[in-house]
Structure 1
């Protein structure tokens, strides 16, 4: 009798982890990043491309290096979703989206005016507030980039590392150092990271993008659950105010919630801990496949205990204190309306519809703020604008004057909770139109229901990448091509219900196979909201109702 020989075990494929597999590049993106720092493309823009035009940009500078200076080519106009997935050379226009970085959301009337003037002069008056406290412009020509950068520099702004495989803008509580409900102020930590850590070459080649956030506010206003790295304010029973650290969050096609490291970090320790986590991502992050090159995949494999051990032993050189997790905050994370500051003054928050404005409108906002003596303006992760340091007797007239600019401090819950990505208008990844449909949807919901007495968030996303946070919204709508009743392939949405951050954070309920065409979208959402109002229990919010509702009420 012969014994079968065991099959030889294949060695696992290299994941491209620098500390384990070496630094030899395993794909073209990694080759490009190792050839030269991505950020060096800025000088070539100034010296060559701005003079010779779009067609002179080399392929590797166009993709991916221009991203490192905050610029993506935008989608050609009038290309339907059936073109998505084709080569960039077929999809891109000879214009750029330009992302202006606002770490911590820090702004001022002067900064807003400069951005407005740049948009008016170079970007066809486009202004998009983002859910990462940035401002994006469209229709930017490479010929105008140097002039834009120079003007931004006059008010301390830039586009460096706003995109690309680098630490992106550091989110911060927009009312850090101001709010009456603040636990700890993270302002100086963000400033130190921006000033001392971001410029270092060691952080300019990560496996992919890296999103981080720091908030000491009890509202938990930076969505720490969905960041690669987040510091969220807590009170330690023995050591006072500080931060808990969360790692490995992210949405897109493989959504994961961040995990607590169970530590306590002081405000002074935040920058070096931030650098340690970025270092782990750089050295141990997966680089072979870009769809796995996010920190969340490493955290999922290691778990938080192993991640903490590596952080302490290999990157910090000391052990962190154990610490508590923050008390969850489910709703009221934004800063819309009037709120008292710690010093007795007030801040006021408004939300432009879907975060979209015109250049002239932003300039008028800057002028109005200055006329009231306001020097501090903040942008938020919910696409809001906050005006700080108002006296009580200024609130009513200022709110009235803002309303004349179509900026309202008391929007309906539908306007307040609506998020939309760029969609087919500018994005090469999109399958569907989003912005115009979101506006139509809000108008119809307000017409049918007026306002709600309960919060509701609705997100329209043009593709699976979840820029509009579809998986953590009450009603999340993921754009894709669907088949209508007549067998035609048309624009539509996968429906995702009841996702949430905060207490009981989860990705909600996706009804198997449930999709709606774009033409059915408004009727569908109206029907679900109507069913909620008829079927809910006293005080029951939408996200709780939708998780228990009969399928016929939500489909």
Structure 2
């Protein structure tokens, strides 16, 4: 089909390939043009792993190695006040974070054991579950990377395009294919995209990262509103179960929720539509400034009608059917924690690790418990949680008891343990200003002690910097790391949410809570909500009508 330029070019050169604006306009675009990020693997295996950290070329170290899931981690002992003042080489430690992509959040028992072994042998027992259904390991030496890859790939796992300006992990419902109330199982589409397009050089040089979510769950359990492209389960009145198409979501320092294109996509059409949306991003996306290079900026400038028109005429060659808007998710939680019946008569068991922090030994013990329960399938969630699938009725209680003995809460998960997330923080991240994981863990313990009977759903997200890896703008209480008088503190966002309360939280002007006062502040606000809420009112809804003094 002939290509027609429907969208007018920008007034300035934005680096849009569709308009032959291919000159490299910044350092990132230059190194990507000089050599595809995927090609760095050969140098890691043949040079860097043999000659050591000092042999790594700078553009590979802080650039192309991300295409294989590797980021240098923060050198210990550098305080948050120096994050923005030191040069990258001064922040770099000679160790790496390694991100293992778990598309659809899916792990087999064998894969889980291999990750546990890699964590123990090469990562000082570290293993964090992210809110993107990945597992991150730390303290990885470049010398060990080829052996780690060999072990992961032997069981079907990969770190390819887990980072970088590429299609990142494809999110999927953690209970796809088993949930009794599922609209449609999106797993075949997740697998098709991963098997056919991840590592494809056509999509390995995008303007920025590209995030995908596919879920047929009525609970909206993949945070579709903040992905670049999302396929949301819905029932068409004539065509039956399928997906509603959303584009242009993303947070960071300029948050935007995704928009509906009003288009209905069948399961079989998802791969073609996905390729089309990624193609638009690659060709029309802004490459001049990194801060404006996400798809959300193009969508905001074009609007949904023009975006859909370009998708259908230039990339698909056919018109998509109009479709209905997905209904709101059911009331209650969507983290899948607890014991739930599957459609086949078995059960799935949702587990709440504390802010996603686990360890290699814990993963091994988890694998032993799963094996004893007869389960071969584990799922990660976008809430930093775990779900064990396919548990027979008589194995549920022994599994739950074993998990809770291990410190993985199921029935004993408090609302604070279920609802609190934290990013990596200053412990390992070079962008962070403050500590997050340990502070969130302490906060949970304090709130459980102070508010033992509080049971309303509430989300508390801690982020070490403004980039919102822990989704602070879409939490009931979002806490963004900031220095207050030279000490660790947090700027407060209140009333954000996804699903029933989709929207971005509001910043309380002038309020920065010192780290040591976090438990006091959150206890105070939570008590006021509990005292003032009406029947069925959610925290985010209460913040919209609460008096300013009650939010401070």
Q: TM-score range by the shorter chain?
A: over 0.9
Contact 2:374 2:392 in 1 (8 A): no
Shift of the 84–113 alpha-carbon distance from structure 1 to 2, 3 Å rule, reads same
Q: Secondary structure at the match of 1:82?
A: helix
Q: Do the aligned residues in 2 keep the contact of 1:509 with 1:547 (CA within 8 Å)?
A: no
Give deviations 1:460-519, integer Å, cap 9, x for gaps.
Answer: 100011111100101000111123xxxxx2211111001011234211222222211112
Q: Deviations over 1:33-56 (max 9, x none)?
A: 111210111111110101110000
Partner residue, 1:531: 528
Aligned to 1:17: 16
| Structure 2 Cα separation of the partners of residues 290 and 21 of structure 1 | 19
**Distance across 2 between alignment mates of 1:404 and 1:122:** 26
Distance 1:20 1:522 in 2: 53
The 4+ residue runs of structure 1 with deviation greater than 4 A are: none
1:452 is matched with which residue? 454
Q: What's the secondary structure of 1:465's corresponding residue? A: coil
Which residue in 2 is equivalent to 1:26?
Answer: 25
Aligned equivalents of 2:115, 2:472: Cα separation in 1: 29
Per the TM alignment, residue 243 of structure 1 is displaced from its structure 2 partner at its CA by 0.2
C-alpha separation between the residues in 1 aligned to 2:512 and 2:440? 17
Shift of 1:421: 0.6
How far did 1:392 drift?
Answer: 1.4
Residues 272 and 451 of structure 1: is their aligned pair in 2 closer, same or farther, counting only changes over 3 Å?
farther
Other-structure match for 2:245 = 245
The residue number in structure 1 matching 2:419 is: 417
CA shift for structure 1 position 146 = 0.4
CA distance in structure 2 between the partners assigned to 1:396 and 1:519 by the alignment: 39
Aligned residue for 2:260? Answer: 260
1:545 aligns with 2:542: yes
CA distance in 2, matches of 1:331, 1:494: 28
Q: Structure 1: how far apart are the matches of 2:455 and 2:380?
A: 26
Structure 1 distance, partners of 2:473, 2:247, is: 18
1:389 Cα shift? Answer: 1.1
CA distance in 2, matches of 1:402, 1:388: 14
Report the CA distance between 1:435 and its aligned residue: 1.2
Contact 1:336–1:349 under 8 Å retained in 2: yes
- Deviation (angstroms), 1:251: 0.6
Counting only pairs closer than 5 Å after superposition, residues 16-415 of structure 1 correspond to structure 2 as 16-85=15-84, 86-329=86-329, 331-410=332-411, 411-415=413-417
Higher mean C-alpha deviation, range 243-252 or range 389-398: 389-398
Deviations 1:66-94 (CA, angstroms, capped at 9, x unpaired):
10000000001111111112221111100
Q: CA deviation at 1:21?
A: 4.2
Q: After superposition, what is the alpha-carbon deviation per residue over 1:133-188, rounded to whole angstroms, capped at 9, x for unaligned?
A: 11000000000000100000111001000000000000011111111111111111
- TM-superposition CA deviations, 1:398-433 (whole Å, max 9, x none): 111111111111200000000001111000101111
Which secondary structure does the structure 1 equivalent of 2:93 belong to?
Answer: strand
Task: Please state whether the residue corresponding to 1:402 is helix, strand or coil.
Answer: helix
| Runs of 5+ consecutive residues of structure 2 not aligned to the other structure | 1-9
Q: Aligned with 2:49: secondary structure?
A: helix
Contact (CA 8 Å) 1:128, 1:356: kept in 2 or not?
Answer: yes
Bigger shift: residues 134-143 or 370-379: 370-379
1:231-277 deviations in Å (ceiling 9; x for gaps): 00000000000000100001111010100000110000001100100
Superposed displacement of residue 331, structure 1: 4.2
Distance 1:451 1:150 in 2: 49
Aligned mates of 2:344, 2:446 — CA distance in 1: 41
Preserved contact between residue 425 and residue 437 of structure 2 (Cα < 8 Å) = yes
Displacement, 1:395?
1.0
Unaligned 5+ segments in structure 1 are: 1-10, 484-488
The equivalent residue for 1:479 is 481
Q: 1:495 aligns with which of 486, 492, 496?
A: 492
Structure 1 residue 533 displacement after superposition = 1.8
CA distance in 1, matches of 2:529, 2:200: 52
The RMSD of aligned alpha carbons is: 1.1
Report the Cα distance in structure 1 between the residues aligned to 2:127 and 2:401, rounded to whole angstroms: 23
Deviates more, 1:130-139 or 1:375-384: 375-384
Task: Tell me if the contact between 2:474 and 2:497 (Cα under 8 Å) persists in the aligned partners.
Answer: yes
Distance in 2 of aligned mates of 1:331 and 1:432: 32
Distance, in Å, in 2 between the alignment partners of 1:534 and 1:331 is 20
TM-score of the superposition, structure 2-length normalised?
0.96
TM-score by length of 1: 0.96
- Aligned equivalents of 2:119, 2:197: Cα separation in 1: 30
- Contact 1:15 1:21 (8 Å CA) reproduced: no
Give the superposition deviation at 1:531: 1.5
Alpha-carbon distance in structure 1 between the residues aligned to 2:436 and 2:522: 15
8 Å Cα contact 1:413-1:451 kept in structure 2: no
> What is the rounded CA distance, in whole Å, between the counterparts of 1:509 and 1:474 in structure 2?
10
Tell me, in whole angstroms, the C-alpha distance in 1 between the residues paired with 2:112 and 2:502. Answer: 35
Aligned match of 2:7: none
Matched, 1:522 2:523: no
Asked whether the equivalents of residues 114 and 152 of structure 1 are also in contact (C-alpha less than 8 Å), the reply is: yes
Q: Structure 1: how far apart are the matches of 2:74 and 2:183?
A: 43
